[in-house]
Amino acid sequence: MIPFLLKLCIVFLKVNSYFSQKETDGWSPDKLVPNGYKPSKPPSTPVNVEVSVVVHQVLGVNEFEQSFTIEATIEQIWFDPRLQLPDYKSDENLVTLPDTFKSKLWTPDHFFMNTMQGVNKEVQTVPLHFDLLKTSEILMSTRVILKLSCVMDLFDFPQDSQECYIDITSAFNNQKRVNFTWRQFEVLNEKEFSKFEFPSYSSGRCLSIRGPDFSCLRGRIQFFRRLSYYVIRIYAPSFLLVITAFCGFWVPVLGYPARIALIVTPLLTLVTQQTQINNEINVHYVVALHIWMMFCTFFVFMCLIEYALAIVYCHHIEEKKEVTSDHIEERIEQTPTHHQTNSFENLWISRLVESSVGSK
């Protein structure tokens, strides 16, 4: 008896599913939009738009342009009471709407306030995805690549951390007509940077450039710069260049080629490094790395000055010895052979002659 009842229940469920599917098949997405529907106008009642932003990758942070690039999925969910919804209940989404419905339905007029000017062609999107949810709400999802501006404070560069924002607001509708609220904001750590460690993030609200009456959402991403990258690339090489220049003190003063190579080569390399740093960061003030490079260049330059002073001093000593030797020889030649000199004077002259000959 029990197996018979189980089979009867299964048959009943299949029949019910069949007729339900028939009922759904009789409804098409074209019936969603009623006659007289104007996609350019929002609903007469205030619309609450739930926004989800999932940042899949932070593609890059550019200190020179003061910008950062992200790849993200943006989802917006809202309810439009003007739409004619099917009378069907399910645990799944009712309908996946075609991409062409973007021109047939009213959609929130959001935009990113800090998008870089003149880079609209760099904002790439995949085809929009529309879903009609079981809650009679519209879900619009798209995947974008955005290049956003980020005002950076680089005084402590490269021991700094930066906060960059994703600001979303409405273009034409104030909060009385369209209100944005956060549903989700998340940054996935799928890609690890060589220059930055994994970011921390949070979400909140901000002040719209359209005024306080317009809704504005802000996603905050904090980047912690990886110091080890600059230790290997800048600090360690520049320190070794200074040590190389100091090694020139072990070379004799008269070893001109070796001394010049050990001083001029580090100096030119430090100047090249300084140029690369200036090309990397576009600021008009001194940062911490500039001070380090300035001290390294100063020490190497002082090595060059020391070598120049050493050469001048050595030439001065040599000229003094030559003058002393010539003066002694002239006095000896001018002294008569029969002249009886003092024993102390003879001893002094002989020692001067020996010292002058030894110096030669």
Per-residue pLDDT of the chain (360 residues; tens, 9 = 90+): 545 444 444 444 443 443 344 444 555 666 778 888 888 888 888 999 999 999 988 888 988 889 999 989 999 999 988 887 766 555 555 677 777 777 888 888 888 999 885 444 445 555 567 888 877 788 888 888 999 999 999 999 999 999 999 999 998 888 889 999 999 999 987 566 668 887 789 999 998 888 888 999 999 999 888 888 899 999 999 999 999 999 988 888 878 788 888 999 999 999 999 998 888 887 889 999 999 999 999 999 999 999 889 888 887 777 776 656 655 656 666 655 544 445 555 555 555 555 554 554
CA dihedral 290, 295, 299, 301 (to 10 degrees): 40
Domain definitions of the chain by residue range? 31-225, 229-346
DSSP element (H, E) containing 202: strand 200-205
Residue 215: phi, psi to the nearest 5?
Answer: -75, 145
Q: What are the start-end ranges of the H helices in 182-339? A: 227-230, 236-246, 256-280, 288-334
Same fold, 31-225 and 229-346: no
Q: CA 29 from chain center: how many Å?
A: 45
- If you search the block for the tokens 């100063």, which residue do you land on? 298
Contact at 8 Å (CB) between 102 and 128?
yes
| φ, ψ (nearest 5 deg) of residue 124 | -100, 140
Class of domain 31-225: mainly beta
Fill in the DSSP letter of residue 234: I
DSSP 8-state assignment for residue 156: T
The correct answer on CATH 3.40.640.10 for the domain covering 229-346 is no
The terminus-to-terminus CA distance of the chain in angstroms comes to 129
Contact 203, 41 (CB under 8 A): no
